């Protein structure tokens, strides 16, 4: 983008000290550094950095403004390439639209450039923030929110902002705790574009099934149907996961299946099929067994996952992956070992060290 625009925004952030003192303006951010190595993707010195600068301004008791500048950088042995400087978010928020019209009382609105919402597990729409150079998926549009009879409701709408007919609309309902049975959510996503097809996704998320009545077992189900609007069969995603907390260890198991007709808006978030991110998308059967604990080393949470991957349509094995992740207060260290069972894939060792700092 035009760097003069970014420079102008940064200069605008240099507001008088008095504005900060009375709480009308806030300025902050964070820096994230990461080193990555993979023996199968020519990633032998993957040093990268990502910086956010966040500006918040209180216009009045009902209205605020938020802006976020993002800088991503990939370092290489030739001195550094891959510079990306952009405005990640810039939007106006109104806590109660009733201030403008009484019939809108109880509705709130965000309008401008915003990160995409994280819906359910993020397998359809997400704002995953793993890629250092390119930022989370964002959009130019609006979000309307309210509560209808105890049901939380969000309406998202955005366009392509490029003169085309590209757009997306999301209806997101949060039914909350259904009488102690489960936390239930439902959303519908519709995409429009220049072509004849307008694909759609209908999703149900049922979490914490049984509440506290399953003897400590945490059970969740996610089901999503994808209609490509092409007259054929729907694609589907089904995930069943369970967790159980022992005295010092947390056990987990999950099964996730996408058929060969599956597609999504933003793709799978990082780590969906293991932190090495070897595969993703359609026609994948994923079985993951994990254990985590913070009792072995003070200040360190350790997670170990065993992942088996195969194709859903044929049942052919794709490979297995073992992930070991250590989370510290200042960052994380991860190691993955992928063993390929398919000729199109390669055995892979992947490691990363990541650290972030707020300011």
pLDDT digits (tens, 9 = 90+) for 188-227: 999 987 777 889 999 999 998 877 777 778 999 999 999 9
Token pair of 13 as six digits: 């952030």
The pLDDT, as a whole number, for residue 160 is 64
Residue for token pair 């757009």: 167
The pLDDT, as a whole number, for residue 4 is 52
The pLDDT, as a whole number, for residue 208 is 86
| Rounded average pLDDT per 10-residue block, the chain, 359 residues | 52 48 82 91 78 96 96 74 87 96 95 95 95 91 93 91 73 81 92 82 92 81 95 91 92 97 95 96 98 91 98 97 96 97 95 94
Asked whether the beta carbons of 139 and 148 are under 8 A apart, the reply is no
- Round to whole Å and give the CA distance between 5 and 255: 47
**The dihedral formed by the CA atoms of 107, 111, 114 and 120, expressed in degrees to the nearest 10:** 30
pLDDT digits (tens, 9 = 90+) for 186-197: 999 999 877 778
pLDDT digits (tens, 9 = 90+) for 109-166: 999 999 999 999 999 999 999 999 888 999 999 999 999 888 999 999 998 655 556 7
Residue 218: half-sphere exposure toward Cβ, Cα within 13 Å:
11
Nearest to 91 by CA among 74, 72, 108: 108
**pTM (predicted TM-score):** 0.88
Which 8-state DSSP code applies to residue 119?
A: -
The pLDDT, as a whole number, for residue 17 is 44
**Alpha-carbon distances, residue 61 vs 95, 147, 294 (angstroms):** 9, 21, 42
């Amino acid at each position: 983008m035009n760097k003069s625009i970014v420079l102008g925004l940064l200069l605008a952030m240099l507001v008088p000290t008095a504005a900060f003192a009375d709480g009308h303006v806030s300025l902050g951010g964070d820096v994230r550094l990461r080193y990555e190595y993979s023996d199968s993707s020519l990633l032998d010195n993957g040093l990268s950095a990502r910086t956010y600068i966040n500006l918040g301004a209180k216009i009045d008791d009902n209205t605020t403004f938020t802006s976020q500048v993002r800088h991503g950088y990939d370092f290489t042995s030739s001195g550094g390439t891959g510079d990306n400087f952009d405005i990640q978010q810039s939007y106006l928020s109104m806590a109660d639209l009733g201030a403008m019209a009484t019939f809108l009382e109880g509705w709130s609105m965000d309008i401008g450039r915003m990160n995409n919402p994280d819906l359910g597990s993020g397998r359809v729409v997400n704002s995953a923030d793993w890629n250092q150079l390119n930022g989370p998926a964002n959009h130019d549009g609006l979000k309307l929110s309210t509560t209808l009879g105890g049901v939380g409701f969000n309406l998202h709408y955005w366009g392509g902002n490029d003169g085309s007919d590209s757009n997306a609309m999301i209806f997101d309902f949060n039914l909350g705790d259904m009488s102690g049975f489960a936390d239930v959510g439902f959303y519908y996503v519709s995409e429009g574009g220049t072509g004849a097809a307008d694909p759609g996704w209908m999703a149900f998320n049922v979490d914490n099934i049984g509440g506290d009545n399953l003897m400590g077992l945490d059970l969740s189900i996610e089901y999503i149907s994808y209609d490509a609007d092409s007259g054929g069969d729907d694609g589907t995603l089904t995930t069943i996961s369970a967790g159980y907390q022992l005295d010092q260890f947390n056990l987990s198991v999950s099964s996730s299946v996408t058929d060969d007709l599956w597609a999504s808006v933003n793709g799978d978030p990082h780590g969906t099929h293991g932190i090495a991110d070897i595969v993703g998308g359609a026609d994948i059967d994923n079985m993951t067994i994990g254990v985590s604990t913070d009792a072995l080393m003070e200040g360190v949470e350790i997670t170990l996952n065993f992942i088996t991957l195969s194709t859903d349509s044929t049942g052919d094995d794709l490979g297995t992956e073992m992930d070991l992740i250590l989370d510290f207060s200042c960052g994380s260290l991860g190691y993955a070992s992928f063993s390929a069972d398919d000729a199109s894939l390669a055995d892979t060792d992947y490691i990363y060290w990541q650290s972030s700092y707020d300011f």
